[in-house]
Structure 1
């Protein structure tokens, strides 16, 4: 298989499963991770390319895109898999290196910034696919408090970010219509035995293999080559939260996202 895939969050859980499967199938695999040692060890194991970046720093996300574009002439599939879960029960609000609310930063802003930066490469590699790893757990987004500074709850923060990701995926699919690049979002499986599930102290419901096979289908199934703008629950097309289909909400979310990114990191605002 002469195809190239970038998988974010590839050093454990679903990302690692996908990296191993695709490497064994002959794909050129670009593995991303935050920890240099673990990322490089996985790349060596799979004869893959290692890309280290903290997705909580959007300058590093942009730098990741630049390094990927410099390293490969084509990118057939981008899998935005890296994520932060609920956190420990009752955990306090956390922020990224940039100062954004952590789940907003990793689960939503990073995929937006990375995908936008890689769109020229994806467009040049058509047919190409964008697969966003979402969740069946989605909650209404307070567009007046995207950073969740009031009444914070880790579970709700995660679910807000995953709704935002689904809504943005649908807008992205519409934007890319007719270009040969597709964009879909899926809930791979419920409560797989991953680090984020262990941290949240939730019981395991599904295996990584179940979630991996559902995600792999979106990456490789030739019957889905032109499928775009769809939310999948496992292998089945399903319905995301109703807000994700609301054009008014999506327009307001897009405006709020643009404003947030244009303002720069909260940690740097107001500095000389």
Structure 2
């Protein structure tokens, strides 16, 4: 049976970390969450845009480059230093990337969309657990995925997507978005009865900078959702008094269960991806 997210509630006294918040749905979500009363940690890579969004929202700017895991570790330390409690972590940063590896030696798409968020969640996990123990029902980890997850296929022997056809980056992107779903489901299993809720979502096709100069994407954007519309699932998952689907579920826009690839239901694969990710970040 399908369920739908309800209207957001007030967020006074709650700290929300939004990555990829310097533009697109991240910026739109940061602005709306601030209007709901949240204290927003605005995380972005571009200094000027990130500080501009922080000024708009009355939040704090944190600069991080997810193509460098050292930068993610610095971000985690800065967030822990700034906030005694963290209520919501929205792992929203990501996007398509060229084929190749980061300075850490991992596939760019894999690291930018999955591994960096995995590491940040791990760095903040104890703070999230402590906040959940003190304020039950308020702590959530939200993952921006995509309907593209249905075209993904996780290969544990090629997580960096360095073999096989590139297909303009779409294959790697779809796989990374499937990894977001698998990560969410394994996190839900590992945090059961801790008070932490975790969900992934597809925002819809949104008119943002995604896709760069690709002419087909540019044509489709004429019928796309606005960033404000695309941000609604994130805002409601963060701010709704109660989420109507159990932790670990995937939303398509405001409804769950959303469409996922067959591999998303493989609990063994979710555990193996978690373990492989932990090994890569030294966890």
Provide TM-score, normalisation by structure 1.
0.89
- Structure 2 contact 143–184 (Cα < 8 Å) conserved: yes
Q: Secondary structure at the match of 1:115?
A: helix
Cα separation, 2, equivalents of 1:200 and 1:99 = 27
In 2, Cα distance between the equivalents of 1:55 and 1:253? 19
Question: Does the alignment pair 1:211 with 2:217?
Answer: no
- The 5 Å alignment of 1:53-92 reads 53-85=64-96, 87=97
- The reply to whether residue 180 of structure 1 matches residue 195 of structure 2 is yes
The RMSD of aligned alpha carbons is 1.8
Ranked by relative contact order (alpha carbons within 8 Å, sequence separation 6 or more), the top structure is 2
Q: 1:148 aligns with which of 161, 171, 183?
A: 161
Offset at residue 150 of structure 1 (A):
1.3
Query: Is 1:261–2:281 an aligned residue pair?
Result: yes
Aligned to 1:157: 172
Q: Would you say the 8 A contact 2:95–2:173 is kept in 1?
A: yes
Deviation at 1:193, TM superposition (A): 1.0
- 2:266 alignment partner in structure 1: 246
Work out whether residues 113 and 177 of structure 2, in 8 Å CA contact, stay in contact via their aligned partners in 1.
Answer: yes
**What CA distance in whole angstroms lies between the structure 2 residues aligned with 1:121 and 1:200?**
41
**Contact 1:215–1:234 (8 Å) recurs in 2:** no
Kept in 2: contact 1:140–1:163 (CA 8 A): yes
C-alpha distance in 2, partners of 1:69/1:262?
Answer: 19
Residue of structure 1 in register with 2:126 after alignment: 120
Instruction: Report the alpha carbon displacement of residue 59 of structure 1 after superposing the two structures with TM.
Output: 1.4
Q: Which moved more, 1:173-182 or 1:238-247?
A: 238-247
Q: CA offsets per residue over residues 31-60 of structure 1, 9 Å max, x none?
A: 001112221222123221010010111111
Q: 1:28 aligns with which of 16, 25, 39?
A: 39
User: Is it true that 1:197 corresponds to 2:218 in the alignment?
Assistant: no
C-alpha separation in 2, matches of 1:226 and 1:95? 37
Once the two structures are superposed, what CA deviation does each residue of 1:132-177 show, in whole Å capped at 9, x if it has no partner? 0001112111211111111233000101111111111100011111
| Matched position secondary structure for 2:200 | strand
Moved more, 218-227 or 69-78: 218-227
Distance 1:228 1:42 in 2: 30
Number of equivalences: 257
Deviations, residues 72-126 of structure 1 (Å, cap 9, x unaligned) = 11111110001122x5xxxx51333323211100100011000011011111212
Q: Distance in 1 between matches of 2:214 and 2:121?
A: 28
